């Protein structure tokens, strides 16, 4: 089976790691299922002349076994000697922590990009080092063209009373504490889907949207020309997993992002964001309308909800494997017989 997923950073990566483990346990064994991950690149930032791709790196490290498990980003066994030296020189910014091992990824990616390789080619090389192909995992950036999510915030001192800041500054330095007026995917107007992205959606047997941020991760990938149409047109069942439990994000600042686009922070409202292509939506038991049996309730927009029978949380690999298995089974149940 060919499974295609769209993913942001931490939650998506943990879910896909669980999905891979679930598929490996199925009777046919690991070789029976190929998983393609379309990774968000809107979080990308250039620092000290280096191209940093946080969501792609979180996927590489999580799926390749090098992730800092507690943070969900960056490397395990990390040191920060270079960062301390940069601070000693007064190099800016100092709010984005780059570890010594992580820097090797940015250095080699920047070198290869500088030699003319595409982001897809670079990502394939990085994925090979992390053993993803051997696991039946293909990681594709959503686009080879640079796209950066910027956040428009109110600023009385700025012209017009607003200014745009890079997503990472809003997310990391401000911890999303400043209300976002809107998000702009800078470069999206000139971007095209990376090679294989639209095909992976169109030819999939199953498409799954992990519990990534619906606005700044999945929302950005959906903005890549052709992606949303491919999701609407694919014969594969498309199943998503709510990133909210009881109106709050499981992690990150999805609620701050949703309020910026005027969407209620509920599983149903988020599901309705994708109702034009979703066939199933897995929600926390507390988020299914009261009294509804699994699979029989609907979002306000009419999307069919299926309540998972335990919280959507993924505190460990085993729970991620169970949740991913439930999403996969829901998708299989929606395949035309």
Residues that bind ligand FO1 (CB under 6 A): 8-10, 43, 52, 54-55, 57-58, 73-74, 96-98, 102, 168, 171-172
Q: Are 242 and 288 in contact (CB under 8 A)?
A: no
Beta carbon of residue 216, minimum distance to ligand FO1 (angstroms, whole number): 7
Beta carbon of residue 71, minimum distance to ligand FO1 (angstroms, whole number): 7
Beta carbon of residue 19, minimum distance to ligand FO1 (angstroms, whole number): 18
Beta carbon of residue 74, minimum distance to ligand FO1 (angstroms, whole number): 5
Q: Which is nearer to ligand FO1, 9 or 141 (CB)?
A: 9
Beta carbon of residue 262, minimum distance to ligand FO1 (angstroms, whole number): 22
Beta carbon of residue 329, minimum distance to ligand FO1 (angstroms, whole number): 27
Q: Which residue's beta carbon is nearest to the bound ligand FO1?
A: 9
Beta bridge partners of 184: 150
Q: Which is nearer to ligand FO1, 237 or 249 (CB)?
A: 249
Beta carbon of residue 294, minimum distance to ligand FO1 (angstroms, whole number): 30
């Amino acid at each position: 089976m060919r499974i295609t997923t769209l993913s942001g950073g931490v939650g998506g990566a943990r879910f896909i790691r669980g999905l891979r483990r679930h598929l490996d346990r199925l009777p046919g064994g690991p070789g029976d299922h190929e998983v393609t991950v379309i990774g968000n690149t809107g979080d990308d930032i250039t620092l000290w002349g280096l191209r940093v791709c946080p969501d792609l790196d979180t996927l590489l490290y999580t799926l390749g076994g090098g992730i800092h498990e507690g943070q969900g980003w960056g490397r395990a066994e990390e040191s920060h000697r270079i960062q301390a030296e940069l601070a000693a020189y007064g190099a800016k910014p100092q709010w984005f922590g780059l570890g010594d091992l992580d820097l090797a990824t940015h250095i080699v990616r920047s070198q290869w990009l500088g030699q003319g390789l595409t982001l897809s080619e670079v990502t394939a090389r990085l994925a090979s080092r992390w053993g993803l192909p051997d696991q039946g995992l293909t990681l594709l950036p959503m686009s080879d063209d640079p796209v950066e999510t910027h956040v428009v915030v109110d600023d009385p001192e700025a012209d017009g009373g607003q200014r745009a800041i890079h997503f990472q500054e809003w997310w990391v330095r401000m911890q999303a504490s400043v209300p976002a007026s809107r998000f702009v995917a800078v470069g999206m107007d000139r971007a095209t889907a990376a090679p294989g992205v639209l095909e992976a959606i169109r030819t999939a047997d199953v498409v799954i949207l992990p519990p990534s941020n619906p606005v700044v991760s999945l929302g950005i990938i959906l903005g890549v020309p052709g992606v949303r149409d491919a999701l609407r047109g694919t014969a594969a069942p498309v199943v998503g997993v709510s990133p909210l439990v009881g109106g709050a994000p499981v992690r990150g600042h999805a609620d701050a992002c949703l309020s910026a686009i005027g969407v209620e922070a509920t599983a149903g409202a988020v599901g309705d964001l994708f109702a034009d292509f979703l066939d199933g939506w897995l929600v926390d038991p507390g988020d299914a309308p009261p009294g509804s049996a699994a699979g029989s309730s609907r979002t306000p927009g009419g999307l069919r909800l299926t309540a998972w029978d335990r919280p959507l949380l993924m505190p460990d690999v085993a729970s991620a494997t169970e949740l991913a298995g439930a999403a996969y089974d829901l998708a299989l149940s929606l395949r035309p017989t």
